[in-house]
A and B are shown apart, each in its own frame.
Chain A
């Protein structure tokens, strides 16, 4: 063994290449050149940005926090049963096998898992949030690393200090930190409290979901309404998935949670990637605050940045409840037809179609979109990102070709109703009312909404929206923005026909027999 260690040491310490200054400067120059070229060719932002704002919205964060608090306070219980020797142990009564899981959990001293959000919209689209957290739990202390996509944006530490707990929040995004002391909060943190809570609930489960593969493991799922463990609406549904072999939790889903102030969507909160028995080094829980970070709350810096980026914003005095009325009316819509520029859009739940015409009125292209989900329930709480499929079929009449692409849950075209509902969700933040007018023979009220209200968008990017006074459904929607040459562009959605009777086959792709298939990226 000795010589092998020598070799390892030699390669570690002696095998080293030094870059001379010529090479160093030459490669660096080429990299900088590449960067300059790349920066020049990266297209400027031309569409409204919504993603980050939605995720960073304090409202959504609050809603998420509420769910976390509910879950922690509510606790959960599992059921292991009679069937510990049975291949399908979960079919036995929980009392028979629940204790086995409890016993396993007692041995767990640390826990690592991920938590994230999926936003679910009533017309079938989903949006997996770019914000997620990796949680590290140990006895009496915890750490939560917050990410946006692959970027670490902050770390929260909960560390005992005598009989108290100190919470450190370090924000890399805003280069600041805060500390808060919770008196008497030490020595109360139990890494598996949440899991024990769910195990304890299993005898109250509404149904067994059968088996599914998650993270390469065969799991069995149980479903329980949140009203079984607290004063929660029964539409709040939780699902807990256990590894069939180890009986340890693999995935916890909390469905159909409302996003406060955003009635146009709900969200699903998912905890997964559980790791048990992980050795967590003590220094993981030593707060690290990079030099130069200021001691202030990120909200202060965020507000200042927003003020600098967006300038002052104006808000109209909107009638109370108007937003809810508009959103409620939209959510009742079964079908619709409308025009958007040179395109006619037909839609229903989970399907839509877009016909694009030339200036001469000739049909150039038809696109069909169909969403398939595990469960087509009205509330969409049966969202399961594994089984989400959106099939897009495009027929191009100009070159007699067609193609088909299949999209997953993480990235897919959005249902047209999503953008309409998104704007409806911001009606209460409108800049000003436009007064009543008659459009297409319909009495309408109008409002103007700056795109700054939902994202980091420039001045001059705004929406003008007119709604039917009676039905509260949109009649005309204008999106205006300033082009690079300073001229205004306007995209209009109009000629809305809500709940229109549509031909039965309008959402069935029709591919002419002599058309040739092309790969999606060549279309």
Chain B
């Protein structure tokens, strides 16, 4: 917490070192979140890059209340939503080209373990709202209250989405998870 406050403070005053520290610290958590939400490595990289670029551009006037991790996680979710909206608009006329582009590029460098792949695919099978809640809670550590604010709904709805999401994941993954946790 204190470290992040110091990083924010230095970053706002133009410290490249602070920006690099923030990048090193949050690149993979953001990538994991974006990947979990999109199940698309290319798009996840784009989203994370966009979030960082926007973060840099807001350096002089950004107002960040609360935690840096919460701010970045919220930014990722908003970018993912934008991305999904764009995809939906393009879906009819562009489906074939998009699918063709989805396989990893030769220089693709997102690395997932087998377990992570399985989990990512399972999470991808959740409805958007449940997926957001599960990932924001478990991967970004956000409070349900803050997720409710982000989703513009009540905390009870968020809790339900979380519960339904986990139930659904459990049924999809069946006995796999128990095995890993031994």
Contact = CB atoms under 8 A, between A and B. Distances in A.
Nearest to A145: B5
Contact of B23 (A31, A150, A172, A288): A31
A15 B166 contact: no
Interface stretch (A18-26, A181-189, A421-429): A18-26
Contacts of B173: 7, 10
Most chain B CB neighbours (cut-off 10 Å) among A12, A20, A23, A24 = A23
A149 interface: yes
Contacts of A20: 108-111
A34 interface: yes
A166 interface: no
A35 B19 contact: yes
A16 interface: yes
A151 interface: yes
Interface in B36-50: 36, 44-45, 48-49
A11 interface: yes
Interface in B149-170: 166-167, 169-170
Interface string A141-178: 00000000111110000000000000000001100000
A8 B8 CA distance: 30
Contact of A17 (B14, B19, B28, B167): B28
A11 B123 contact: yes
B178 A22 contact: no
Contacts, number: 140
A87 interface: no
B169 A7 contact: yes
A35 B16 contact: yes
A173 B52 CA distance: 24
Interface string B114-125: 011001100100
B45 A23 contact: yes
Contact of A38 (B2, B59, B116): B59
Contact of B2 (A22, A153, A288): A288
B25 to A, nearest CB: 12
A55 B32 CA distance: 42
A345 B48 CA distance: 49
A32 B57 CA distance: 11
Given A15-B32, A17-B112, A23-B109, A30 B49 contact: yes
Contact of A34 (B8, B57, B60, B108): B57
Given A38-B59, A151-B9, A24 B2 contact: no
Given A15-B116, A15-B139, 15 more contacts: A8-B138, A11-B134, A14-B113, A18-B28, A18-B111, A19-B27, A23-B45, A24-B109, A26-B107, A27-B49, A150-B63, A152-B8, A153-B9, A172-B5, A290-B2
29 contacts: A4-B170, A7-B173, A7-B177, A8-B138, A10-B177, A10-B181, A11-B138, A11-B169, A12-B138, A12-B139, A14-B115, A14-B119, A15-B123, A16-B28, A16-B116, A17-B31, A17-B35, A17-B116, A18-B110, A19-B27, A19-B110, A24-B27, A24-B109, A27-B49, A31-B23, A31-B53, A34-B52, A152-B9, A172-B6
